[in-house]
Amino acid sequence: MPEATPTLTIAELDSPADATAFRTLNEAWIERYFTLEDEDRAILGDPVGRIVEPGGAVFVARLDDEVIGCVGLMPVGERVYELVKMAVSPEHQGHGTGRKLIATALDRARALGSQRVALESASSLANAVHLYEAFGFRHLEHDEIAPSPYARADVHMVLDLV
């Protein structure tokens, strides 16, 4: 009998295990390329308090029962959200999981009445930057960039939803 094809699902963070997976996935990629910073620790240590309770959402991508990716949609201003803490485990990259996570987060932003979704990234993460560009995010001009809590953030992008 052939094995069943694993099923990818995207769902909201709804358990301590999901919160742990969100933290673990993000810490792994950040530590692989950069250094964990104070703002990382604050958000990853309390995704419900920092993202969900203020009116945002955290989504996890599961392949069957394993969480393989995640993204947060954090309110940062009046009808403005930030795409934060997107991570996909290395062995599952390149299969569309990141694209599905972003699409889900943007759908939620629209449902929440968001006018704009912002994000910060790093130019060394070229694949991620290209993915954001494919969704229509534009690079901010120098005079549009607000100070960042992240030393690694040298890419600042927005997507206007209205």
123-144 as b/e: b if 16+ CB within 10 A? eebeebbebbeebebeeeeeee
The CA angle 148-45-65, to the nearest 5 degrees, is 115
Domain CATH for 142:
3.40.630.30
Span 139-160, mean pLDDT? 94
Q: Judge whether 3 lies within some domain.
A: no
Domain count along the chain: 1
Q: Judge whether 88 lies within some domain.
A: yes
The span from the CA of 96 to the CA of 111, in Å, is: 23
Q: Judge whether 2 lies within some domain.
A: no
Strand 57-63 and strand 8-12: the pairing is antiparallel
Task: Report the pLDDT value the prediction gives residue 5, as an integer from 0 to 100.
Answer: 81
Please check the confidence at residue 2 and state whether its pLDDT lies above 80.
no
pLDDT confidence of 128, banded at 50, 70, 90? very high
Task: Report the pLDDT value the prediction gives residue 4, as an integer from 0 to 100.
Answer: 75
Q: Judge whether 44 lies within some domain.
A: yes
pTM (2 decimals)?
A: 0.94
Q: Judge whether 66 lies within some domain.
A: yes
Longest dimension (CA), the chain: 61
- Domain ranges, residue 69: 8-160
pLDDT confidence of 111, banded at 50, 70, 90? very high
pLDDT confidence of 1, banded at 50, 70, 90? low
Q: Judge whether 1 lies within some domain.
A: no
Mean pLDDT for the chain overall:
95
pLDDT confidence of 162, banded at 50, 70, 90? confident
